[in-house]
Structure 1
């Protein structure tokens, strides 16, 4: 019952701003924000923002990161990367930002007993992490969303972009390895898994294994990608991210790498700040335009 009330409240708050007037003259696309319950094989909620109108529209999927703490997952925001999603919507995209199973209002089944919803993207122990399968697990959700939105005739076929941050970026790299025919481009921010073990900065869980898994994905990935990292990211710092990119491209993957200057106190959460949009949007706009 508690999670239902949370969903009703979140929906009501979004409806207050459902139709938004552009803030600048050049932003001449009015957008509409919604909350959907996606009837996927593993049902989940999603934040959706799109231009006002019937569509169909090109699709952007935005994958969020992970927390290994179930209590933290229960407080996960229903709407993540709202400002970034609205930037894509104003460029004409329908944006779906799924809330992963085991997160937010869906994380708790029986709060009084501390029973939490399913969390299916674990990497296992640091001594033997399975980065590969954890990435593909979330990538499968993206494939379900693409199939569902295409079946509903909400999207323009073969015009899908996938965006991911942190573990969501890692899942996006995994998705590239299966080359979905409708996905034309993938963009990642601070992508990786196993960062800040024990809460310690620049303390990654098995970095060599992460680089190996990145190379494995690169062997089959042919989707054009844009990788954005930030100098003061204490989860996946410049040395590690450059190793990952080198391994991915040496194996055959296609990825542009950009290292942004330090941002705030922690660069890992770069995409979540509205102040970062003027910094990353020119790179992203140029990359997207190049895929037309």
Structure 2
């Protein structure tokens, strides 16, 4: 009975010690086995692992790709046009033992603080070696690659692998925005003035060409009308001449009737003639023959 009383606590302690000696490594993490703060084992493969209870402890680190938002910084490119750059990085812990030695108990927070300083320094150096136009153009992809490559070597000393660096935003400082907008507005107004001037010049050319065309068309039409009128007058005169040659008396009678029609039309002014005027010869003649 006494043996059972002593064995039960021992058994419980043995079971607790056995359970505390076991730990599971998740597939999304890596683990370090520490003994008095010194790394004695690295567990990178997922599954069941062992440690010495009470003497050894397990520290776990995320094995996935992590994200770091770099603190915004102000850079000065070659053209002295200051820019505020906002970037982020993708990284992972590639060597957990080296990572532990580099950051100690500070863990990921300390590592990200040091990596942030590295990325800020490399970003300022790379972007300071080019103009602002290069930063704002499609060439920024090559600049981001340069920043990443420059940070890889320094990050490796922390046990980190820098996978990618991206510039999220590249803006002007607030104090420069108004001046930049004024300059852009003045440039657009100048371009608009130039466009209006070119448009007015083109309109004047079109208008002058149209006026010239109108003058040429009117002149040509008048010339053709004068030719047609002259031909018609010639033809009329030829008809009159032929008619007069065939019957001069009838031609004279026709002309007198035309003159009567025009002279005696209503609304005309008064016509005062002497009684013996030749104008009414055909009216006074009983036979319709001029006397």
Q: Name the larger-Rg structure.
A: 2
Which of the five TM-score ranges fits, normalised by the shorter chain?
under 0.3
Name the TM-score, length of structure 1 as normaliser: 0.16
Q: With CA pairs under 8 Å and 6+ residues apart, which has the higher RCO, 1 or 2?
A: 1
